[in-house]
Structure 1
């Protein structure tokens, strides 16, 4: 069982790395267009906070050494993504991003570390950080709901990257399996199980709206109908 859990843990780390790398194509588009367009900032802000807390949880919790390096790698990448969002977002979105980063990724994170180090000890520290990390994991998985709402409104998946949704599902699924193998049912198991369900919902939505309606054909038919009406009217007024 220990060998199996170690193998699953290594696999989970690899998939998590791929999940953290999956938005690169999105941010390359942002850099190329010099605009964040309609992409949402909340998934990256929440992911940065979650990764930072999971790094701390992996460090202070015996037997969870596989959690720390993957989470630290994710925290570094998410920091870069948030920085690019701040650089290329429109003024209104930039202000909103600064406020959220200041509250969540700076204020809340700093307060949590200080309380954990100065006030909490032993199991209480581990359980508190584990609970907060699990709660933030749920928020991270729920954060794409804004993008899903945009998909339903626009009938387009342009601003909901497929790779990110796909690796969300894989990541949540493999960490759920790892949680049950190591007996971490509450902090890792429940949250990643919920993330797996939400990730499946994203993929279903992607499957529904991945092909936009053929507006060009509609326009072409409408144009053809107008031409026919024009020829008919012309024939009516043509002199004998």
Structure 2
């Protein structure tokens, strides 16, 4: 029989890492659209900026100097940093000047924040337990923010009754990612992974329900409008 650690590693590698990789790739269609339009229109950079700082925190958390035997967390989030950075470069390039300044300010703030966290943790905390506790608490906050970030467009979706600017694949893979990492955290209880990813699974489900509601709403309206146009022609 497989040991608990072996099962946990399998979930971490096959499920967690593969689906997390899918989460990082999920915005690709959105950025292909931005590239074709040569404009960001009403797409928001907030979800991707939130994912970036979240990934940087989890890279740090998973390092042996902070949390031994959790290197899988660092590896996949390191990949996430690279992928999301490429998205932000595209977003920055096709943004108007005002949006570029906003993105740069947030990025600068994130880099300063990460430098402060790393410096203070390494210089003031000298045990794995204390380091993983502090970094874990901070990472929980930003991980919840990452899962909730697609909700930033909920107001727009409800206002326009359209899901055009709601990143479906980001919400879908976020839901699957939350479920998988929750399972990973439950096998060998890691409260810092369990809390944000459990909430992430719930938030992802809520986003999918919202998408389904307004997608069907749009489909029904489109069908009714089509019938009205046919009647007018007749």
Supply the RMSD in Å over aligned alpha carbons: 1.8
Q: 2:226 aligns with which of 196, 217, 225?
A: 217
1:163 paired residue number: 169
2:33 paired residue number: 29
Provide the C-alpha distance between the structure 1 equivalents of 2:88 and 2:228, rounded to a whole number of angstroms.
40
Contact 2:150/2:167 (<8 A) preserved: no
* TM-superposed deviation, 1:216: 4.2
* TM-superposed deviation, 1:146: 1.2
Deviations 1:188-212, CA, capped at 9 Å, x for gaps? 0011011111000010011011142
Provide the C-alpha distance between the structure 1 equivalents of 2:152 and 2:97, rounded to a whole number of angstroms.
19
Contact 2:182/2:197 (<8 A) preserved: yes
Unpaired runs of 5+ residues, structure 2, are: none
Number of equivalenced pairs = 223
Q: 1:63 aligns with which of 54, 63, 69?
A: 69
Give the structure-2-normalised TM-score: 0.89
2:11 paired residue number: 8
* Pairing of 1:118-157 with structure 2 (within 5 A): 118-122=123-127, 123-157=129-163
Provide the C-alpha distance between the structure 2 equivalents of 1:53 and 1:182, rounded to a whole number of angstroms.
21
Provide the C-alpha distance between the structure 1 equivalents of 2:227 and 2:157, rounded to a whole number of angstroms.
21
Q: Which of 1 and 2 has greater Rg?
A: 1
Unpaired runs of 5+ residues, structure 1, are: 229-240
* Pairing of 1:166-185 with structure 2 (within 5 A): 166-184=172-190
